[in-house]
Amino acid sequence: MSLKSKGFVGGGGGGGGEIPCRGAVSRKWAFLLCLGSFCLGLLFTNRMWTMPEPKEVIRRSAIEGEKMNVVPGDCNLKSIREKQEPSDVLGEVSRTHHAIQSLDKTISNLEMELAAARATQESILSGSPLSDDLKDTESNGRQKYFMVVGINTAFSSRKRRDSVRATWLPQGEKRKKLEEEKGIIIRFVIGHSATSGGILDKAIEAEDRKHGDFMRLDHVEGYLELSAKTKIYFATAVSMWDAEFYIKVDDDVHVNIATLGTTLARHRSKPRVYVGCMKSGPVLAQKGVRYHEPEYWKFGEQGNKYFRHATGQIYAVSKDLAAYISINKHILHRYANEDVSLGAWFIGLDVEHIDDRRLCCGTPPDCEWKAQAGNICVASFDWSCSGICKSAERIREVHQRCGEGENALWSATF
């Protein structure tokens, strides 16, 4: 086939013709295509890349500035952070510890208020009249005290009570001053007789009208009921007075109040303390002997000893423990011996047992020698009698030879 038949037009002398192309795009469509691509590019760019906020720019600049603020001569940023971290950690630990202490104190105060409300409610429901101290508490609010000292006594112990009043227990205006200035409450603790309102109860009421130093319990008196009396004492004391410490002492024991206060003040920062002369005597399974333990089998084989607990002549517990007894008094088990019962109530708790031998000094010459050496005893008694033997006659002598002196009480700060 000739070239002419394929559509080529030839010409002589170097002349040529235009060759048409079907795939060519016009200039108009090319311009529109470029414009559309440009618009799509702008849209895509705005979605994928946004300008940072001014605050973010400032924050990043500050961080970069801190990183660049290097101590002269030390270009290791890691070492700088390591130097700063210990102080920050210690500060955080201190703040956390303070917060825990504040929370613990708040919980303790709430428990105290709950215990007081429960005691008041029970008194109203049982029909027993509220004491004057409890009425003052309800009307004036919870006043803070340092310690409450409950002197355990019985109906037959009038001479013992008078001997205590004549020696280490301030009377009249001095006792009132002791409460107002030192925050120390001292009361003889007693319940009522089996025939409530009988001659024994009337005798105590008459004695109370004269001295005003009794704390009456909703409890039937009896030697075998000392564990129950102790439990009711702490529950009642917590409901009547908001104190840091609650003490139980027998009425045949000599006590130096100022020395007792300074001793307890050393432990006031601790949440749960149990202070006394700690002992671990044998569990007596034989019937008929003194301090027989009917539930001896709970303590293992015969011949075993009790767990550590404070001797019953005198001991002190902090506010948290007294409130614990008050709240749980209906379910706390009572053993035959009062001091064993108290120790058992604290066995499963996080309690610090403080063994202070100054709470169990002997009578003269023991306490006298210690006083002359500058180590004044908190309490003195005879172990053989579980108290001062013939205390009504001898406690005055013990007070003269082992007492701290009246000025010690009024000059002491707790």
Q: Which of 362, 367, 328 is nearest to 345 (CA)?
A: 328
Mean pLDDT, residues 321-337:
95
Residue 128 vs residues 6, 73, 219, 367, 395: alpha-carbon distances, Å: 133, 81, 11, 43, 35
Checking if the pLDDT of 409 tops 60, the result is yes
> For position 32, what pLDDT does the model report?
78
Token pair belonging to 179: 């409460």
Secondary structure (3-state) at 372: helix
98-132 per-position pLDDT tens digit:
667 666 656 655 665 665 556 555 554 555 444 45
> For position 108, what pLDDT does the model report?
58
Residue 302 banded pLDDT, cuts 50, 70, 90: confident
Checking if the pLDDT of 337 tops 60, the result is yes
Residue located via tokens 């902090």: 318
Mean pLDDT, residues 203-215:
97
Cα radius of gyration (the chain): 43
Q: Which amino acid is at 349?
A: L
Taken as a whole, the chain contains a residue count of: 414
Checking if the pLDDT of 198 tops 50, the result is yes
Checking if the pLDDT of 67 tops 50, the result is no
| Cross-strand partners of 184 | 147
Checking if the pLDDT of 389 tops 50, the result is yes
Q: Within 10 A of 131 (CB to CB), how many other CB atoms are there?
A: 18
User: What is the DSSP annotation of 12-31?
Assistant: STT-------TT---HHHHH
Residue 213 banded pLDDT, cuts 50, 70, 90: very high
| b/e burial code for range 60-92 (CB count within 10 A of at least 16 → b) | eeeeeeeeeeeeeeeeeeeebeeeeeeeeeeee
Checking if the pLDDT of 11 tops 50, the result is no
Rounded to an integer, what distance in angstroms lies between the CA atom of residue 357 and that of residue 366?
12
The helices-and-strands tally (H runs, E runs) of the chain is 14, 9
Range scoring the smallest mean pLDDT among 150-154, 304-308, 388-392: 304-308
Checking if the pLDDT of 387 tops 90, the result is yes
Q: Which of 222, 45, 237 is nearest to 149 (CA)?
A: 237
What is the phi/psi pair of residue 259, to 5°? -65, -35
170-191 per-position pLDDT tens digit:
999 999 999 999 999 999 999 9
225-280 per-position pLDDT tens digit:
899 999 999 999 999 999 999 999 999 999 999 999 999 999 999 989 999 999 99
Checking if the pLDDT of 169 tops 90, the result is yes
Checking if the pLDDT of 85 tops 80, the result is no
Residue 214 banded pLDDT, cuts 50, 70, 90: very high
Whether 313 and 250 have beta carbons less than 8 Å apart is answered as yes
Q: Within 10 A of 318 (CB to CB), how many other CB atoms are there?
A: 25
Average pLDDT score, the chain: 82
Q: Domains of the chain (ranges plus CATH)?
A: 108-411 (3.90.550.10)
**pTM score > 0.85 for this model?**
no
- Indicate if the alpha-carbon torsion angle 237, 238, 240, 243 is positive or negative: positive
Residue located via tokens 């001569």: 73
Secondary structure (3-state) at 116: helix
Residue 10 banded pLDDT, cuts 50, 70, 90: very low
What is the phi/psi pair of residue 149, to 5°? -110, 115
> For position 307, what pLDDT does the model report?
94
Rounded to an integer, what distance in angstroms lies between the CA atom of residue 327 and that of residue 333?
14
Residues 6+ apart with CB under 8 A from 188: 151, 153, 161, 213, 214, 215, 251
> For position 37, what pLDDT does the model report?
76
12-63 per-position pLDDT tens digit:
444 444 444 444 557 777 777 777 777 777 666 555 555 445 444 444 444 4
> For position 328, what pLDDT does the model report?
96
Question: What percentage of the chain has pLDDT greater than the value 90?
Answer: 59
Rounded to an integer, what distance in angstroms lies between the CA atom of residue 60 and that of residue 176?
68
Q: Which amino acid is at 226?
A: L
Whether 176 and 136 have beta carbons less than 8 Å apart is answered as no
Residue located via tokens 């009896």: 222
Whether 146 and 182 have beta carbons less than 8 Å apart is answered as yes
Whether 359 and 394 have beta carbons less than 8 Å apart is answered as no
Token pair belonging to 168: 């280490």
Residues 6+ apart with CB under 8 A from 85: none
